[in-house]
Amino acid sequence: MPKLVVTNREGETSEIDVEDGLTVMEAIRDNGFDELLALCGGCCSCATCHVYIDEGGSAGMPEMTEDEDDLLESSDHRKDTSRLSCQIPLTGELDGLKVTLAPED
C-alpha cells in the first residue's frame, strides 16, 4: 500500500496510506482534506484538484496530457511542479510521493 505525504494550505503535513490504483485526488479527498474541491470528480475538466509535486518526485509519474496542461494554464498559481491530482494514479512506484495543495483559484 503506497504512502502519500500531503501538505495542506496551512502548511500542515500528513502521511496517508493509499490503496493501490487510486488517484492522488481520490486519496486526498477520501482522507478528509476538504480544501481539495475536485469538482469534476476526476474527469480532467476543471483544475480544482491542483497540487504541487515535491521537487524530484515526478519520477514514475505519467506524462501530462494536453488537456491537463490546458487546464493548468488557467490557474494563477501554476508552477513547474503543478499537476492535477486526478491524473496521477498512485502505485508502488510512487510510494512516498509528496504533494502540496495549491491555493484555490
What are the per-10-residue average pLDDT scores of the chain (105 residues)? 96 95 95 92 94 87 96 96 96 94 94
| DSSP string computed for 31-95 | TT-TT---TTSSSSS--TTEEEEPTT--TTPPPPPHHHHHHHHT-TT--TTEEEGGG-B--GGGT
Q: Could you tell me if 81 and 54 are in contact, meaning their C-beta atoms sit under 8 angstroms apart?
A: yes
Q: Could you tell me if 11 and 105 are in contact, meaning their C-beta atoms sit under 8 angstroms apart?
A: no
Q: Compute the C-alpha angle 12/94/68, nearest 5°.
A: 80
Predicted confidence at residue 87, as pLDDT, reads: 97
Domains identified in the chain and CATH numbers: 3-101 (3.10.20.30)
Q: Is the model's pTM score more than 0.85?
A: yes
Cell numbers linked to 21: 490504483
- Length of the chain as a residue count: 105
Predicted confidence at residue 58, as pLDDT, reads: 77
Q: Could you tell me if 87 and 65 are in contact, meaning their C-beta atoms sit under 8 angstroms apart?
A: yes
How far, in Å, CA of 50 to CA of 92, rounded? 22
Predicted confidence at residue 67, as pLDDT, reads: 96
